[in-house]
Chain A
Amino acid sequence: MREITYRQALNEALAEEIARDPNVFLMGEEVAEYNGAYKVSQGLLDRFGAERIIDTPISENGFAGLGIGAAMVGLRPIVEFMTFSFSLVAFDQIVNNAPNMLTMSGGQFNIPITFRGPNGPAHQLGATHSHATECFYANVPGLKICTPATPRDAKGLLKTAVRDNNPVLVLECELFYSHKGMVEDDGVDLLVPLGEAEIKRAGSDVTIICYAQTVPMALAAAETLAGEKINAEVLDLRSIKPLDLPAILQSVAKTHRVVIAEQDRPFCGVGAEITYRIQKEIFDELDAPIMRVAQEDVPMPYNERLEQAVLPNAAKIVAAVEKIC
């Protein structure tokens, strides 16, 4: 193991998969000559050449569709969105073409494509650039969605996504690109399965379910709560779809109390579905109502103080836990 950044972990995953399989290529805005808007693809053009690391015009609908067409005839594209807020321009390709093709063709055409890039609010980017898109896409059968929160998960999930035979969205966190974490040594073929949650902190009194940006918030909240003699378990979903329901139920059956910390908006958000599943499957295990900490239900304001008021944070998670413990 060694310590690397989330950005470097993603870069390694890209390099390893592009080197491993000649059908894999990377395409997106400024991924090649500029080395990526967030430098995730640093050095890949030099190493793999312009045939496999491809700059596109600002045409998300066009190049997302181009990737899907290439996947129909056997390539395995990795398409970068500079942010997933821009993926909305390609929404029709991502929800109508990529996941529907297998069913519409009676099983003849699967679409092995990876869409990746930063997702969710970053810092003072305003309403158009701050979308947490996971709940939009989670509604679409045929898509898989993962949300790595650590360098290790970023590398392992991206590599798995590229090898998956379905359209997979790898929703990264812009604010995490410089975060450091322990990752297996170079040369280890690190694969983190899609659909497997991970307990990031074991506990017994309450389960804090989180993913992506809310994982460090949940861990910080758990530290604060430990001072109040509340031992919180932090369960990182890592994938939104498939959802690791068994892991959720197992943890809740142990703690009997749940707070869901999500980075999206509350109405029809990821936590709404998880809440439904928990009460449906193990209603008797619950000793308190399920709490949710999400964004406020407003378009994201630019003003820093207001933006912070909209976003989930550790203090809000602590407050939610205190209400039910």
Chain B
Amino acid sequence: MPAPEQRDEVEMLATMLLIRRFEERASQQYQAQKIGGFCHLYIGQEAVVTGAVAATRPDDYLITAYRDHAHALARGTSADACMAELFGKATGCSRGLGGSMHYFDKANHMYGGHAIVGAHVPLAAGMAFAAKYRKEDRVTLCFFGDGAINQGGFHEALNLAGLFKLPVIFICENNFFAMGTSVKRSTSLQHIVDRAEGYDMQAEIVDGMNFREVRDKLGEIIASIRKEPHPAFVEARTYRYRGHSMSDPASYRTKEELEKYRLDDPITRLRAQLTREGKLTNEQFDKMDKKAKEQALASVKFAGESAEPPLDKLYDYTYADAVEAGVSPARKASSGRKR
């Protein structure tokens, strides 16, 4: 693993800023009713995905749950494609057919965006299985929340990954609330990371508000997996500033608790580290932040001006062969009335 470079850290800080500014715009557009369905914001947790992505190769597999905007942006999906997806437009990263919870970007190895809690964890095991089957040294990063660890699919996937020694890292973004239910009221264990012990799996806790700690720990694990495939489990302790979704005022938390985490903000922290080390000036930071705000604003304009997915393509994505269900490809001839 080469030593992380200064350029990478400043770039990743810019990515964190883009995620933050993008989601602030998304929140505003949701309130303006430009965005339908559910919308779950990641604000506060940015160091987890950016730290992890900073430790990976672009061809490593990444899959996550429904709080997925940041994961796509961190992987390189454009803000335009992300915002257009929220608007349900044809230019969205899933052509407007997936929505907030179902972002996909094959070119950037972003494999969703999965909205049934815990159901994508077996998929991650399958992606890692494929990498091992083909004798590739790719690693699969599988993100999920603390709510997923009590689902059956999660446990089955961890057992399979442990049994088959699959090259996958299960990253639990522990923001301490499964929707509105505190982890203390949902989970039998005091420490989520202890779940991994039951599957004989390497397990680590990282400070999910600290970009460098996430990156460095993930870097070590990834290097070890590339040498010899095995699964690992990382509990990243983090905090979301907003409610579970846009409709949640998060009244189950105290102002004091939120304030405590805001003071530990992952963007502020990385900025301070870089500034202290003379790698970033205030002017540079302001310029980066201004750019992120402009990109977010431009994405709203792009999404607003983009076309809706065409009605006549409604059936085009149901089957890979684009044949309407119920009609045999071999006998599309008319049925015909005889009398």
Contacts and interface: CB of A to CB of B under 8 A. Distances in A.
Interface of A: 25, 51, 56-57, 59, 61-75, 77, 92-93, 96-97, 101-110, 112, 141-142, 144, 164-166, 193, 195-196, 239, 241-247, 249-250, 253, 281-282, 284-285
Given A61-B153, A102-B317, A195-B330, 8 more contacts: A65-B157, A69-B128, A73-B61, A75-B130, A93-B122, A93-B153, A246-B333, A247-B328
Nearest to A241: B325
A249 B333 CA distance: 12
> Lowest 9 CB-CB distances: which A-B pairs, in order?
A69-B126, A65-B122, A62-B156, A106-B95, A69-B123, A195-B328, A105-B104, A165-B320, A110-B320
A73 B127 contact: yes
B130 A70 contact: yes
B115 to A, nearest CB: 9
B335 A249 contact: yes
A105 B125 contact: no
Nearest to A282: B337
A70 B128 CA distance: 8
22 contacts: A61-B156, A63-B160, A65-B120, A65-B121, A65-B122, A65-B126, A68-B126, A69-B125, A70-B126, A73-B111, A73-B127, A92-B119, A102-B317, A105-B97, A105-B113, A110-B320, A164-B321, A165-B320, A196-B331, A242-B327, A243-B326, A243-B328
Size range of the chain B interface in the assembly: 35 or more
B102 A105 contact: yes
Contact of A97 (B123, B152, B323, B330): B123
Contacts of A102: 317-320
B325 A141 contact: yes
Contacts of A105: 94, 97-98, 102, 104, 106, 112-113
B101 to A, nearest CB: 9
Contacts of A166: 319-321
B104 A66 contact: no
Contacts of A284: 337, 339
A67 B106 CA distance: 18
Given A62-B160, A71-B126, A104-B97, A244 B321 contact: no
B208 interface: no
B139 to A, nearest CB: 13
A244 B331 CA distance: 8
Contact of B124 (A69, A195, A247): A69
Contacts of A246: 328, 331, 333, 335
Contact of B129 (A69, A141, A281): A69
Given A57-B159, A142-B318, A166-B321, A69 B326 contact: no
A242 B156 contact: no
Contacts of A101: 112
Given A57-B160, A196-B330, A242-B325, A109 B106 contact: yes
B335 A281 contact: yes
B210 to A, nearest CB: 30
